[in-house]
């Protein structure tokens, strides 16, 4: 069977051409100086499990083709220049366990689609420009183990949803960040390892 080509361009207009066997489960476009890319050929990879686009110069990316990739396990988009992203297509990726969006320029993000990703274990959003974020969709992600949110522009953060994440082991937050949570969780006796260090810093509302 013929190889499938994914066409990308650098910011200076240079062509980046990568070819993959249609049976592949991993598409790695890491560190190619890509400024823009057409991901539509991914629909030709029915068994795609890993998509890596980290370490490039991408400002925007259309993930809609991932609705055709139900076996996707890992999506790495860290180390780009992304300012906004629509995660809606990920609601069709129930096997997703890893989402990396750190080292970008995101000012806002809607995590709602991740409520369908019940196997999600790692979500990385550190070093962006986020000013606010609603973590409530993550209460559906009961297998979540790692959440990193350091070096953003939050004034405060409501972490109520994380009391519904019993397996959270690593929670990275800036030490001076004001934390709030619903007071109904104040008397909860079983708290995850990741959340425990922050309990004394929470403003219960």
Domain positions in the chain are 4-204
Per-residue pLDDT of the chain (205 residues; tens, 9 = 90+): 589 999 999 999 999 999 999 999 999 999 999 999 999 999 999 899 999 999 999 999 999 999 999 999 999 999 999 999 999 999 999 999 999 999 999 999 999 999 999 999 999 999 999 999 999 999 999 999 999 999 999 999 999 999 999 999 999 999 999 999 999 999 988 999 999 999 999 999 9
Q: Quick one: pLDDT at residue 2? A: 84
In the block, residue with structure tokens 């998509």: 51
CA distance 136 to 70: 23
Residues in the chain: 205
- Residue 115 phi/psi, 5-degree rounding, is -65, -15
Decide which of 3.80.10.10, 3.30.70.60, 3.40.190.10, 1.20.120.80 is the CATH code for 4-204.
Answer: 3.80.10.10
Q: CB-hemisphere CA count at 13 Å for 170?
A: 11
Q: What pLDDT, on a 0 to 100 scale, did the predictor assign at position 1?
A: 57
In the chain, count H helices and then E strands: 0, 13
Pick from 48, 120, 16, 185: nearest CA to 63: 48
């Amino acid at each position: 069977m013929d190889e499938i080509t994914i066409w990308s361009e650098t910011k200076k207009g240079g062509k980046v051409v990568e070819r993959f066997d249609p049976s592949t489960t991993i598409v790695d476009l890491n560190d190619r100086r890509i400024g823009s890319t057409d991901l539509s050929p991914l629909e030709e990879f029915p068994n795609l499990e890993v998509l890596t686009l980290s370490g490039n110069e991408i400002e925007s990316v259309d993930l809609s083709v991932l609705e055709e990739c139900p076996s996707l396990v890992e999506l790495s988009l860290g180390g780009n220049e992304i300012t906004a992203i629509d995660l809606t297509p990920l609601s069709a990726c129930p096997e997703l366990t890893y989402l990396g969006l750190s080292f970008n320029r995101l000012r806002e993000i809607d995590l709602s689609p991740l409520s369908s990703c019940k196997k999600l274990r790692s979500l990385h959003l550190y070093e962006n420009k986020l000013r606010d974020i609603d973590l409530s969709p993550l209460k559906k992600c009961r297998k979540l183990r790692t959440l990193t949110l350091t070096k953003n522009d939050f004034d405060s953060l409501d972490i109520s949803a994380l009391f519904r994440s019993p397996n959270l082991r690593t929670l990275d937050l800036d030490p001076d960040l004001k934390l709030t949570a619903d007071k109904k969780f104040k008397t909860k006796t079983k708290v995850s390892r990741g959340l425990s260090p922050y309990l004394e810093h929470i403003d219960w509302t």
